[in-house]
Amino acid sequence: MRELFLALLAGDGVHGYELKQALEQEFGALLPALNAGQIYSTLARLERDGLVVGESVEGDNRRKRVYGLTEAGRAELARWIAAPVPGTRLKDEFFMKFAVLASAGLANPRTLIDGQRREYMQSLRDLDAVLAANGNGAAAELLVEGAVLHLKADLEWLELIEERMTP
Amino acid sequence: MTCVLEARSLTKTYDTGGVEVDALRGVDLAVQRGEFVAIMGPSGCGKSTLLNLLAGLDRPTAGEVLLDGERIDELSETELARLRRSKVGFVFQFFNLVPTLSAVENVELPLLLVGRRRREARRSANALMGDLGIGDKHGTAPLLLSGGQQQRVALARALVNEPAIVLGDEPTGNLDSAATREVLGLLRAARDRGQTVLVVTHDSRVAAAADRIVTLRDGRVAEAAALEPPRPVTLPFES
Q: Does A22 touch chain B (CB under 8 A)?
A: no
Q: Does A114 touch chain B (CB under 8 A)?
A: yes
pLDDT digit string (tens) for B72-113?
988 999 999 988 888 999 888 888 899 999 999 999 999 999
Q: Does A63 touch chain B (CB under 8 A)?
A: no
Listed residue (A130, A125, A16, A83) closest to B235, CA to CA: A130
- Whether residue A114 and residue B225 make contact (CB cut-off 8 A), yes or no, is yes
d(Cα B12, Cα A144) in Å, to the nearest integer? 42
Q: Does A124 touch chain B (CB under 8 A)?
A: yes
d(Cα B23, Cα B218) in Å, to the nearest integer? 7
Instruction: pLDDT band for A60, please (50, 70, 90 cuts).
Output: low
Listed residue (A27, A128, A9, A24) closest to A69, CA to CA: A9
- What is the ipTM metric for this complex? 0.82
Beta strands in B106-196 (DSSP E): 165-169
Please provide the average confidence, as pLDDT, over all residues in chain A: 90
Q: What is the pTM of this model?
A: 0.83
Residue ranges and CATH numbers for the domains of chain B are: 35-45+77-226 (3.40.50.300)
Average pLDDT over residues A65-85: 95
Residue B239 has pLDDT above 60, yes or no: no
Q: Which of A39-48, A77-86, B13-22, B224-233 has the lowest mean pLDDT?
A: B13-22
Residues 6 or more apart whose Cβ sits within 8 Å of residue A101:
A107, A112
Q: Which of B204, B206, B213, B215 to mutate to test the interface with A (most CBs of A within 10 A)?
A: B204
pLDDT digit string (tens) for B184-216?
888 888 898 889 999 999 899 899 999 999 999
Average pLDDT over residues B115-120: 93
- Whether residue A148 and residue B205 make contact (CB cut-off 8 A), yes or no, is yes
Please provide the average confidence, as pLDDT, over all residues in chain B: 91
pLDDT of residue A155: 94
Instruction: pLDDT band for A57, please (50, 70, 90 cuts).
Output: confident
The side-by-side arrangement of strands in the sheet containing B36-40 is: B88-92, B165-169, B197-200, B36-40, B212-217, B220-226
pLDDT digit string (tens) for A78-99?
999 999 999 888 888 999 999 9
- Whether residue B231 and residue A131 make contact (CB cut-off 8 A), yes or no, is no
Residue B237: exposure state from Cβ atoms within 10 A (0-12, 13-18, ≥19)? middle
